[in-house]
Amino acid sequence: MLKVLVLLQLAALTTYDDPRTARRSERGSVTTEHVLWAVAVIAIVGIVVAAVTTYVRTQAGNIK
């Protein structure tokens, strides 16, 4: 049992001791965040355009 714990600790230490590895694993996260923000903005703009279009068509139908 002790050997298994030592091996697990050794595996954990060799995985996380290199700071370059940690930086490499976060690579692309900014791009992903920008893409998600862009999708959110496009969705919001689409909702606003649909609401304004509906309002304008409703008001245009009320013109005598």
CA distance 51 to 55: 6
Nearest 5°: phi and psi at 40?
-65, -45
Query: How would residue 13 be classed by pLDDT, with cut points 50, 70 and 90?
Result: low
Longest dimension (CA), the chain: 88
Say how many domains are in the chain. 1
Query: What is the DSSP-derived secondary structure letter of residue 48?
Result: H
pLDDT in tens, 37-62: 999 999 999 999 999 999 999 999 88
Identify the domain containing residue 46 by its residue range: 2-61
Q: Give the pair of three-digit tokens for residue 36.
A: 């998600």
> Is the pTM for the entire model greater than 0.95?
no
Q: What is the pLDDT confidence band of residue 2, given thresholds at 50, 70 and 90?
A: low
To the nearest 5 percent, what fractions of the chain are helix, strand and coil? 85, 0, 15
